[in-house]
């Protein structure tokens, strides 16, 4: 099981939403797990939770507690890995906190790479046809369009003309 630096993925429930936004921007997981002053798991917070909170009149200075998902998925220490993976796939989540008997986060479980869909992966090349619209006079592309019409301007090492 992959281990995570818990300090990077935890945020206190008294932190501000603005602070959570900064932390989420820096976090690779794009999810933070909210804990109270006793290190007890409270919930999770994502960009979507913050957006919903702001739309319901929370401010950037509001507490993370007010915006977090208090019903977020968590797992107990002695869990069945395949059962948890199936549940996480149904819920469309990648990370879940593993809780002690006292509801303290002891680790973070991540769905293994083999179970993740290929989404936004820059290392995978897709062979998909693309249409580039080339309407207009091309004044912003001058001096290239002084010589060639936009549909004939090379992209990379090729010229494309339908």
Identify the structural domains of the chain with CATH numbers, from first to last.
6-115 (3.10.580.10), 129-162 (no CATH)
Which residues, other chains included, contact 27 with Cβ-Cβ below 8 Å and sequence gap of 6+? 8, 9
Q: What is the pTM of this model?
A: 0.67
* Strand residues in the chain grouped as ranges (E): 10-12, 32-35, 41-45, 75-76, 95-99, 105-110
pLDDT tens profile 30-40: 899 999 999 99
- CA nearest neighbour of 103 among 66, 81, 72: 72
Q: Please, which pLDDT band fits residue 87 given cuts at 50, 70 and 90?
A: very high
Does the structure show a pLDDT above 70 at 56?
yes
pLDDT tens profile 115-159: 555 444 456 666 777 776 667 777 887 888 888 877 777 777 666
74 DSSP assignment:
-
Strands 95-99, 105-110: pairing kind:
antiparallel
Q: How far apart are CA 96 and CA 111, in angstroms?
A: 9
């Amino acid at each position: 099981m992959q281990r995570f630096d818990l300090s990077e993925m935890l945020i206190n429930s008294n932190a501000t939403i603005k602070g959570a936004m900064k932390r989420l921007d820096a976090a690779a997981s794009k999810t933070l797990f909210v804990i109270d002053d006793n290190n007890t798991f409270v919930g999770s917070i994502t960009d979507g939770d913050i957006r919903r909170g702001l739309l319901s009149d929370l401010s950037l200075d509001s507490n993370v507690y007010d915006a977090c998902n208090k019903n977020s998925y968590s797992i107990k220490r002695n869990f069945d890995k395949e059962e948890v993976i199936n549940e996480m796939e149904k819920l469309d989540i990648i990370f879940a906190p593993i809780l002690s008997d006292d509801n303290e986060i002891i680790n973070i479980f991540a769905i293994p790479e083999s179970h993740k869909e290929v989404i936004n992966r820059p290392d995978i090349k897709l062979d998909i046809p693309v249409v580039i619209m080339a309407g207009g006079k091309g004044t912003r592309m001058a001096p290239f369009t002084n010589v060639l019409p936009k549909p004939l301007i090379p992209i990379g090492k090729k010229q494309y003309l339908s």
